[in-house]
């Protein structure tokens, strides 16, 4: 069964729009995590960014102490966040690129350019009992580099596919890239997740990508929840995931 990790970052985005810098506020992303679990999520994803634009430190601690499903901590490879991860010990960390000026994560991690640092970070996490995933573009060179780092998972960046969805030729090129990258990663012994820009409309075509274990989806769920509620939004995504054969 294909698993669903619900990213709750944008529940915190809404909270920070009114309560930034305060020790309280609504909506509570931890409460959203509880609702997501009840609705069928098999994991919770949260990105602790350097600028704390949405998720903040106390959210990560509370999530680790209270949710029943695995916590996937998205993070950049910076000393402060690494130390927080080692202290909190989430089930898994997903190493991502991060720029202060971006609205959201714009692309995959450059594993080739940062291989030594990434390998060292993977070692530190593994020694602490924390699994590691690398968020990468579906590029065979990045897959090959990922296999050398000691990471257990990759998460394929589906953003280019999502952006090209309404252009059939470009969409098919992106799907082919995702299929090839997943096959290559599986051959190296890596576990494969995917995410970014996925929604009810574009998700069914992802079923052609083999070897997927989990999809991590946030923005489309939270934006849909504004109109239909969080449980319904999650169940719509789960329905679109049904029938995946791997």
Residue 228 lies in a domain: yes
Q: Which two tokens stand for residue 195?
A: 């995410």
Helix (H, G, I), strand (E, B) or coil at 189: coil
Residue 246 domain flag: no
- The two tokens of residue 239 are 């329905």
Task: State pLDDT tens for residues 17-75.
Answer: 999 999 899 999 999 999 999 999 999 999 999 999 999 999 999 999 999 999 999 99
| Higher per-residue confidence, 102 vs 34 | 34
54 is catalytic: no
Whether residue 219 lies in the annotated active site:
no
Helices (H), the chain: 9-19, 29-39, 57-66, 79-88, 115-127, 140-147, 159-163, 168-187, 219-228, 230-241
Q: Where are the alpha helices (DSSP H) in 28-167?
A: 29-39, 57-66, 79-88, 115-127, 140-147, 159-163
For tokens 């065979």, what's the residue?
140
What CATH number should be reported for the domain holding residue 64? 3.20.20.70
Q: Given the residues 10, 54, 74, 214, select the one marked as catalytic.
A: 74
Residue 206 backbone dihedrals phi, psi, to 5 degrees: -65, -20
Q: Would residue 191 show up in a list of annotated catalytic residues for this protein?
A: no
Quote the CA–CA distance of 51 and 30 in Å, as a whole number. Answer: 20
Q: Report the distance separating Cα 23 and Cα 44, nearest Å.
A: 22
Query: In the prediction, which pLDDT does 241 show?
Result: 98
| C-alpha to C-alpha distance for 88 and 60, rounded to whole angstroms | 8
Q: How many domains in the chain?
A: 1
CB atoms under 10 Å from CB of 15, counted, come to 22
Read off the pTM: 0.95
Domain of 208 in residue numbering reads as 3-241
The answer as to whether 165 is a domain residue is yes
Q: Residues 10, 54, 157, 196: which is the catalytic one?
A: 196
């Amino acid at each position: 069964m294909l698993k669903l990790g619900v990213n709750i970052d944008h529940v915190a985005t809404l909270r920070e729009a009114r309560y930034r810098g305060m020790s309280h506020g609504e909506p509570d992303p931890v409460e959203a995590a509880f609702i997501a679990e009840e609705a069928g999520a098999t994991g919770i994803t949260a990105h602790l960014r350097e600028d704390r634009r949405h998720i903040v430190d106390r959210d990560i601690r509370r999530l680790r102490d209270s949710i029943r499903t695995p916590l996937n901590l998205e993070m950049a490879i910076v000393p402060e966040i690494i130390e927080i991860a080692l202290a909190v010990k989430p089930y898994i960390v997903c190493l991502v690129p991060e720029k202060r000026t971006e609205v959201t994560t714009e692309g995959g991690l450059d594993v080739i350019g940062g291989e030594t640092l990434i390998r060292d970070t993977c070692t530190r996490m593994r020694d602490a009992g924390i699994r590691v995933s690398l968020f990468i573009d579906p590029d065979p060179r990045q897959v090959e580099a990922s296999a050398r780092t000691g990471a257990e998972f990759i998460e394929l960046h589906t953003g280019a596919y999502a952006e090209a969805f309404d252009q059939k030729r470009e969409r098919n090129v992106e799907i082919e890239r995702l299929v090839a990258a997943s096959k290559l990663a599986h051959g190296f012994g890596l576990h494969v997740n995917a995410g970014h820009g996925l929604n009810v409309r574009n998700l069914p075509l992802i079923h052609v990508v083999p070897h997927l274990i989990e999809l991590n989806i946030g923005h489309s769920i939270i934006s849909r929840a504004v109109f239909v509620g969080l449980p319904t939004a999650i169940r719509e995504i789960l329905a679109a995931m049904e029938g995946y054969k791997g």
